[in-house]
Structure 1
Amino acid sequence: MMTIDTVKYEPFTIETAVDYSKQIGLFEQSDLLEAEEIGDGNLNLVFRIQNKNTNKSIILKQALPYAKVVGSSWPLTLDRARIESEALKHAYEVVPEFTPRVYHSDHTLAVTVMDDLSHLQIVRKGLIEGNVYPRLARDIGTFLAHTLFYHSDFGMNQQEKKKLTLKFNNPELCKITEDLVFTDPFFDHDTNNIPSKLREFVETTLWSDKSLKREVASLKHLFLTKGEALIHGDLHTGSIFASAEETVVIDPEFAYFGPIGFDIGAFIANILLNYLSQEGHIEDEQARNEYQDYLLSVLTETWNVFDVEFGALWQDNAQDSFMKVDGYLDDVLNQIFQDTLGFAGCKMIRRMIGLAGVEDVEAIENEELRLNVKRTAITLGKLLIQNRSQITSINELKKVVTQ
């Protein structure tokens, strides 16, 4: 057996990951274990380790000190592993049914060991395949309402929240969002990934539009300064596992205290991108229309559940006298919705021309169709940014999407 140096960081291999899982007591030394590396992301190593006799299995995730999509030339802090494990623990306290349990974490080795969710499917892949998740919208709406409310000044002691904010100082990963979501796509930056046939459209639609840039500047300022709640920070459909009966949210390594609307906007943006991408995935028009209707129902139900759940929590857990003032809850929810739309627009645009695209669109084989979907997504994203104060309900958003 290999001995793992818990004082010095080094990336795991399959062999050392197995040895480590025994050293920390999750398996017996005599257990016959089977392991595989299953990670397909840009920032981490992920191993699935299973006892062949009992079928007990765990996931061991280790942060890498760089982004795999770029290489060692783009260093990343290992502290994000601590951020992730702590964020998962806080979410588990509030919504254990939607959060993997953390069994062990080691901040020096940048390791988090948690539930194995391989019996579920990554939602992004499932939506590309045209799968329906009956519980997805209700579960995500509930997850958002509870995690965001209970980690905000509305739902927790305001002085305790200030203390907790210090533990989730996440400048390096916030900088990635600040650059890749709010800055680079709106300028001719070398991190952008723009097909040559799309460049003129991007220059005209985004880079030359000064009024759009003013709106995005305001949204970036909100992201920089509006520390409302402990947010997931990267809640896309690739960060959600689901089945017909279960929904679990993973990967909160971008967590920090930010605007409540950012997580909601990220999820909505990804549902909208999948909605648009179905032009390239479902050929039969009737079948495509039916599936897109389902996606719109996910959109509307997610917000409606969030709205109702957040309001109920507000009524039962007021931390401030002003929370009992008539109309204040409506003011807060209206502002969250406006922020949500703006952040959703930025997320949509980023995914179309930024450093990391989305499989929903990139998997469309027909080039012209793929480019058309990107143009539509950019146009819709821009509309959400510029008209976020005029679109005042989820039903109005649905009309904007389908018009």
Structure 2
Amino acid sequence: MSFQVKSGYIPFTQETVVHFLVQHNFIDPSAPLLVKEIGDGNLNYVFQVQNKATEESWIVKQALPYAKVVGESWPLTLDRSRIESEALKQAHSLVPEFSPIVYLHDSEKAATVMEDLSSHTILRKGLIEGRVYPELAKNVGTYLAHTLFFTSDYGLGSAKKKELAKRFSNPDLCGITESLVFSDPFYNAESNAFTEELRPDVEILWEDQDFLTEVASLKHSFLTKGEALIHGDLHTGSLFVTARSTKVIDPEFAFYGPVGFDIGAFIANLALSILSQEAHRTEEEKDGYLAYLFGVITEVWHVFESTFRSLWDTYLSEDNLYSRSYLDIYLHSIFVDSIGFSGCKIIRRTIGLAHVEEIETITDPVTKLAIERKALHLGKKLILKRKNIDSIEDYIEMIQEVL
């Protein structure tokens, strides 16, 4: 093998995950159980185990020592399982209504037992089906404001923040983000994947030196801005939702990074959903659903900003007593970063290693290609013009211009 693991680590099967739960006193060995492997991600095994007698159920997530999407040639540290568990606990301590409960983490097995959210739907799938979630934007904006403010210098204090940052050093998964979001899509990397008909558009990006310089600037921000504990992979597949409830999952990419990265990742995925609507909605349905999605993007930012301001006014740490005018400057810098990072994410999800389901499932190749071209155009505009976009409403207008 090209990777090393701790003694005692064995990848779970449906049988051994039951033994694991018995060992940790979650279930009686004689209980009638229903066990399913439900994970469809690239890095982990995920099992759902239900006691049919009591209807209790648990999710067991186990990290693999390599990237499942590639194989054993791409080794990964199992410590990311600890990071994910601690990040979930950190979020739950701040916004318990938006984070699943973690019951147990076993570092030797690189496994975490957590709350079963099967009563919820993955947000990406719900959006593809055209569902409306009235509380989504408010919940996500609140989650972002609380988790990012209270892990920053401003909400935590400089010394405590530095101590927390040490626990969330995450070089392996940061390396994945650096490559797949900020490097590979911008040259002819082996990991890229796109239809040949898109190549002329892609090569225009690769040859535009002014554009590549702006991408390099955003990559530098990602590498150097340790502002807060960020989720690191906050896309619409990382949220479980109902009409009223929102739960943020899968923070294994968590580390101390730029605040704007989580915001940018989320609104980028909504922008891709918007671009895909012509393939998923009838003409009668499309305008109403587009209005809903535009409203989510707008409200997420406004809730984040207003909540962050309120937290600043109430909880600003004593060793960081900045003026209110500085807060305006800081929030503007977060906004500019968010716009730029969203552009990188849009391009990455169009020509990089892993695409988004709402575009990949389009069966008409002409429609799919047209949407992918719009995505590349939008991503490039956002990156180049991010410093001249003054409001989230301007961001919406830029999306509308490419539709």
Same fold (TM over 0.5): yes
| Greater alpha carbon shift after TM alignment, 168-177 vs 74-83 | 74-83
Provide the residue aligned with 2:105 in structure 1: 105
Q: Give the TM-score taking structure 1 as reference length.
A: 0.97
Distance 2:355 2:333 in 1: 29
Q: CA deviation at 1:200?
A: 1.1
Q: CA deviation at 1:360?
A: 1.1
| Greater alpha carbon shift after TM alignment, 65-74 vs 43-52 | 65-74
8 Å contact kept, 2:193–2:353:
yes
Distance 1:344 1:238 in 2: 16
Matches for 1:215-364 after TM superposition, within 5 Å = 215-282=214-281, 284-320=282-318, 323-364=321-362
8 Å contact kept, 1:322–1:328:
no
**Amino acid paired to 2:258:** P
8 Å contact kept, 1:136–1:247:
yes
Distance 2:167 2:186 in 1: 32
**Amino acid paired to 2:291:** D
For residue 327 of structure 1, give the secondary structure of its aligned residue in structure 2.
Answer: helix
**Amino acid paired to 1:94:** L
Q: Deviations over 1:261-290 (max 9, x none)?
A: 0000000000000000111111x2131111
8 Å contact kept, 1:127–1:274:
yes
Distance 1:262 1:43 in 2: 21
Provide the residue aligned with 1:376 in structure 2: 374
Distance 2:75 2:28 in 1: 36
Q: Deviations over 1:160-209 (max 9, x none)?
A: 110111110000100000000000101111110021100111101x1010
For residue 248 of structure 1, give the secondary structure of its aligned residue in structure 2.
Answer: strand
Q: Deviations over 1:99-134 (max 9, x none)?
A: 001000011211011000011000001101111111
8 Å contact kept, 1:124–1:238:
yes
**Amino acid paired to 1:18:** V
1:93 aligns with 2:96: no
Q: CA deviation at 1:157?
A: 2.0
Distance 1:321 1:178 in 2: 32
Q: Give the TM-score taking structure 2 as reference length.
A: 0.97
Distance 1:285 1:113 in 2: 44
Provide the residue aligned with 2:387 in structure 1: 389
Provide the residue aligned with 2:3 in structure 1: none
Unaligned runs of 5+ in 1: 1-5
**Amino acid paired to 1:302:** V
Q: Deviations over 1:202-244 (max 9, x none)?
A: 101x101000110000000000000000000000000000010
8 Å contact kept, 1:104–1:114:
yes
Q: CA deviation at 1:326?
A: 3.2
For residue 103 of structure 1, give the secondary structure of its aligned residue in structure 2.
Answer: strand
Distance 1:35 1:265 in 2: 36
8 Å contact kept, 1:80–1:253:
yes
Q: CA deviation at 1:245?
A: 1.4
**Amino acid paired to 2:219:** K
Q: CA deviation at 1:323?
A: 4.0
Distance 2:267 2:188 in 1: 26
Provide the residue aligned with 2:117 in structure 1: 117
For residue 46 of structure 1, give the secondary structure of its aligned residue in structure 2.
Answer: strand
Q: CA deviation at 1:356?
A: 0.5
For residue 324 of structure 2, give the secondary structure of its aligned residue in structure 1.
Answer: coil
For residues 224 and 161 of structure 1, do their structure 2 counterparts lie closer, same or farther at Cα, with a shift above 3 Å needed? same
Distance 1:126 1:279 in 2: 16
Q: Deviations over 1:43-83 (max 9, x none)?
A: 11000001111100000000111112111111111111011
8 Å contact kept, 2:153–2:320:
no
Cα root mean square deviation, aligned: 1.1
| Greater alpha carbon shift after TM alignment, 172-181 vs 25-34 | 25-34
Unaligned runs of 5+ in 2: 1-5
8 Å contact kept, 2:157–2:319:
no
Distance 1:312 1:326 in 2: 11
For residue 355 of structure 1, give the secondary structure of its aligned residue in structure 2.
Answer: coil
For residue 213 of structure 2, give the secondary structure of its aligned residue in structure 1.
Answer: helix
8 Å contact kept, 2:157–2:320:
no
Provide the residue aligned with 2:10 in structure 1: 10
For residue 388 of structure 2, give the secondary structure of its aligned residue in structure 1.
Answer: coil
Distance 2:324 2:339 in 1: 25
**Amino acid paired to 1:15:** E
Distance 2:388 2:78 in 1: 42
Provide the residue aligned with 1:3 in structure 2: none
Distance 1:201 1:324 in 2: 45
Matches for 1:139-288 after TM superposition, within 5 Å = 139-204=139-204, 206-282=205-281, 284-288=282-286
8 Å contact kept, 1:323–1:329:
no
Q: CA deviation at 1:320?
A: 4.5
